[in-house]
Each structure stands twice: as structure tokens, then as C-alpha cells.
Amino acid sequence: MTLEASGLSASARDAVAESLHVVGEAIQQIAAESYASLFGERPDLLHRLFNRGNQATGEQQAALANGLAGFAALLVHRPYIDVRTVLERIAHKHVSVGVTPQQYELIHHHLMAAFRSVLGDAATERLVSGWSEVYWIMGRALVRREAELGAQLGIEAGLHWRSWQVVQRTTEAHGILSLLLEPADEWPPDHFLPGQYVSVAVPVDDDSFQIRQYSLSCAPGARRLRITVELLDRPGRPAGEVSAYLHHTARLGTQLLLSPPCGEVTLDDSDSPLLFVSYGVGITPFVSMTGHLARANSARPVTHVHVDRGALHHAHRFEMEDLLERLPNGRGVLVYDDLQSAPADARRPPVDFSGLSLGPGTLAYLCGPTSFLVRTRAALVQAGLAPGAIRYEVFGPELWSAPS
Ligand SMILES: Cc1cc2nc3c(=O)[nH]c(=O)nc-3n(C[C@H](O)[C@H](O)[C@H](O)COP(=O)(O)OP(=O)(O)OC[C@H]3O[C@@H](n4cnc5c(N)ncnc54)[C@H](O)[C@@H]3O)c2cc1C
Ligand code: HEM
């Protein structure tokens, strides 16, 4: 389905085109106000569905705002783009946290009210109904795709969260812990694709749950699942709610609520050569992908470039070395930067890909902090990779979209 097929009415297209600039300038404030009024009316959604950390830092508002404004610009300027590729990431995230179709009405109500209150007189009926159309084009496409994914995953109303029990805790590196999980009930084994994540819901105080995503750091095919979690405990900032719970409170026998595996950044199953590039705990999806390739005795050329602060922080190092050794055409490249006191986003040594002689048709997968992804992608394009051959996973709301 293209946007043309599901496009804006002519009058909405004009109203949105004329107001792209003014709405673009105010959209962060509109998103912030709409969340404030939503959570005023429904505090349960803040404490049991949305990520409070992302709300506090403004990242979720920015993600919704960028999503809506960016999508409107696409509708107006590039109506031939396939809706599904644009919305796939959001749909997977929504399914994993349990968004329901009814909640789209609620968000729409608060969003349109915020358009009116933030834009004041500029919010004419024509403008508001044009942007309402944009919202519903996205909303309908998301609801449809989420229903499809939900059906594939066997999610029925009320059966979203499943209990898993912690059966092993392993320290992988400084501040990084793996939890091995076994179904606490007779769930059928979850099928997942290498690269996918689960949402984990944990009780953080008397009345609240918080949900976060963790990539599965194991190959598919076993009854047990494994996640690997970095403790977010940065000076001057509150400790990360869920990572602290998983590190300090979850013991052997603790039950955790997990969503079915979701995520659209999965290993392509062609024969193309593969390049994995990770930073820090961003190694997790590649442990799953490499483990899967090793089990399948794959002859695909696989290069894993891992960047980390230093050996003490490097999780899954020996496991990845073993897995790559099992691949006839596997190799690993390590880049350590020991500037330990630098802020997380400042210590990014440049990776020189030109010396790696990547084969024709190489597909690259990147995972790490946003600034690392942006720099790595630019370096890869410079080294000759086609932009369309570079896929990436961001461990947070997506605030950066690679230009196509
Ligand atoms: C698809 C996907 C896969 C992922 N896979 C992994 C993985 O394999 N391993 C992994 O470790 N992580 C992974 N993540 C990240 C993970 O989901 C969490 O975001 C991470 O664990 C932090 O969650 P938290 O609850 O501990 O921190 P949060 O409570 O969410 O806090 C996050 C940051 O915001 C700051 N903050 C919170 N509140 C405030 C405030 N009021 N003012 C200022 N700052 C504030 C905190 O100090 C912290 O630095 C993944 C994310 C995604 C989206
Ligand atoms: C057209 C409507 C919507 C759009 C465009 C939209 C957009 C987004 C985007 C861009 C993200 C971040 C995805 C990522 O990069 O990880 C997201 C996440 C999320 N959305 Fe939506 N969304 C919509 C509707 C809804 C509705 C109806 C709900 C339910 C109340 C909802 C709840 C959430 C939650 C809980 C998350 C994860 C939050 C987090 O981890 O911070 N969204 N959405």
C-alpha cells in the first residue's frame, strides 16, 4: 500500500502543505502538551504503559512529533513511498508494549486539543482537520499492521504478557548482566528471528509497571531466552528504573513479564556478505544473529566490528569470538577507546572501513547509540556501501532517521 492509495484529500493536502512550517516549529510543544493532558486524564498510562524515563527526558514526545511532522512531509512531497516501511518500526514497538486500537481515539483527542491550544488563532478548522487526516492515515495503517502482527504472534486480548522465570544470572562485563529465562507456565516456545527484542514489564513501585525493550542475546531454537542488560547509573542522573530492577532486585526464581518477540531489524536470509557493527551493549542482537548463522553452518562472509570503552566493559567478547571462529568465513575486529571519563556520546573513535575489503553486495547492520550510528553510517557510505544496504537498531525511541 502506498501513500497515494491511502493519501490525503486534496483540501487536507493543501492545508497541511501550507502549514508544514508553522506546525513543524510548534510540533514538539504540541506533542508535549498532548501528553501532559493525556496523563492528566489517564495517569495509569504514564505509570503502566509509557516509558517514564523517555517522558522525563522528552525523547518520546520528540519521537511522536518527528514521526507526525516527518510523515506529513512525506505525504505532501513523496506520496509514492510505501507506508509500511515507514511505520514498521513503530508498529512492532506498539505491539510489544500492548497498544490497543481504542487508544488511537484517545491520543487523537488529546493531540488535536493540543494543536488548538498551542497554535491559537492559527489553528483554523481547515488546518486541524488536515492534520487530523494525517494522524488517521498513520493511525489506520498502524492499527491494521498491529492487528496483523498480533495475529501472527498469537496475541489475543489480555494474553499479551507472559511470565518467565529467571534461571541464571551471569555478569558479562562491568555493569552488564545476562538473565536466562524459562517459561513460568506452559507457553508454547516462542519463535523469533535473530535481531528481535522482547518488551519486559517490571513493577517499579507499589502501583506502577515500567516497560523496556531488550534484544534477545541468544540464537532462536532453544526453550530458554536470554537478555543482556546494561545498568544505567550515570552520575548526576536518576538510576535507570528497569535496568536497576533487573540488576538489583531480580534474583533466581523471580518472574518477569515478557511480550512475545517483536522487531523488524532481523537477519536477512539471503547469501549476501554481512557486516555487523556494534558499540557497547549494542552487541546483543549480533550475538543472536551470529549464533544463528553458526548453528546453520553458514558459509556467508561475516565481519563483526565491535567498538567499546575497553575490555572490562566488553560483554560477550569470548562468546562472539567462538561463534565467529565456527563460521568458515567469519572474522572479528575490535576497537577499544579507553577514555573512560568521557560522556557516553563523546567517545566514538572513528572506524576505518576502507581497509576491511567488504565484498560486493555486503549488507550492514548497526547497533549502538545514535551518534555512533550516524557516524558509522556516514563512514560506510564513504567506503562504498549503498545507503539502502545499511540497517540499524537504536536502543531508544528513534530520534534519527537515516536519510534515504
Ligand atoms: C529495540 C531495543 C532493544 C534494546 N536492547 C537492549 C539490550 O539488549 N540491552 C540493554 O541494556 N538495553 C537495551 N535497550 C535499552 C533498554 O530498553 C532501556 O532503554 C535501558 O535499559 C534503560 O532503561 P532504564 O529503565 O534502566 O532507564 P530509564 O529509567 O528509562 O532511564 C533512561 C535514562 O534517562 C535518564 N532519566 C530518567 N529520568 C530522568 C529525569 N527525570 N531527568 C533526567 N534524566 C532522566 C536516566 O538517568 C537514564 O540515563 C534496547 C532498547 C530498544 C528500543
Ligand atoms: C498515529 C498515531 C501514533 C504515532 C505516529 C506514534 C508514534 C510513535 C513513535 C514514533 C514511537 C517511537 C518508536 C521507536 O522509535 O521506538 C512510539 C512509541 C510508543 N507509542 Fe506510539 N504512536 C501513535 C499512537 C500511539 C497510541 C494510540 C498509543 C497508546 C496510548 C501509543 C503508545 C506508544 C508507546 C507506549 C510507545 C513506547 C514508548 C516508549 O518506549 O517511550 N502510541 N509511538
Domains of the chain (ranges; CATH) run 10-153 (1.10.490.10), 162-258 (2.40.30.10), 274-394 (3.40.50.80)
Mention every residue, 6+ apart, whose C-beta is less than 8 A from residue 94: 142, 146
* Residue 83: predicted pLDDT: 60
Whose C-alpha lies nearest to ligand 2, atom 41?
Answer: 51
Report phi then psi at 250, rounded to 5.
-70, 120
Q: For each of the chain's 404 residues, which pLDDT tens digit applies?
A: 444 445 789 999 999 999 999 998 999 899 999 999 999 999 999 888 899 888 888 777 777 777 888 888 777 776 666 666 678 989 999 999 999 999 999 999 999 999 999 999 999 999 999 999 999 999 999 999 999 999 888 886 556 899 999 999 999 999 999 999 999 987 666 789 999 999 999 998 877 889 999 999 999 998 899 999 999 988 888 889 999 999 999 999 999 999 999 999 999 999 999 999 999 999 999 999 999 999 999 999 999 999 998 899 999 999 999 999 999 999 999 998 765 544 454 445 567 788 888 889 999 999 998 888 988 999 999 889 999 999 999 886 665 554 44
CA-angle at 283, arms to 229 and 260, nearest 5°: 60
90 C-alpha to ligand 2 centroid (Å): 6
Whose C-alpha lies nearest to ligand 2, atom 19?
Answer: 94
* Residue 188: predicted pLDDT: 66
Please tell me what DSSP assigns to residue 353: -
CB 166 within 8 A of CB 194: no
Predicted model pTM: 0.93
Give yes or no for residue 263 CB within 6 A of ligand 2: no
53 C-alpha to ligand 1 centroid (Å): 7
CB 258 within 8 A of CB 198: yes
* Residue 343: predicted pLDDT: 45
CB 329 within 8 A of CB 300: yes
Give the span between the Cα atoms of 302 and 290, in whole angstroms: 8
Please indicate whether residue 393 is annotated as part of the active site: no
CB 399 within 8 A of CB 66: yes
User: Which residue ranges have their beta carbon within 6 Å of ligand 1?
Assistant: 51, 53, 56-57, 197, 212-215, 228-230, 232, 234, 237-238, 240-243, 263, 281, 284, 393, 395-396
Kindly name the residue from 33, 35, 133, 146 that is annotated as catalytic. Answer: 146
Please tell me what DSSP assigns to residue 259: P
Please indicate whether residue 146 is annotated as part of the active site: yes
Whose C-alpha lies nearest to ligand 1, atom 5?
Answer: 214
* Residue 211: predicted pLDDT: 95
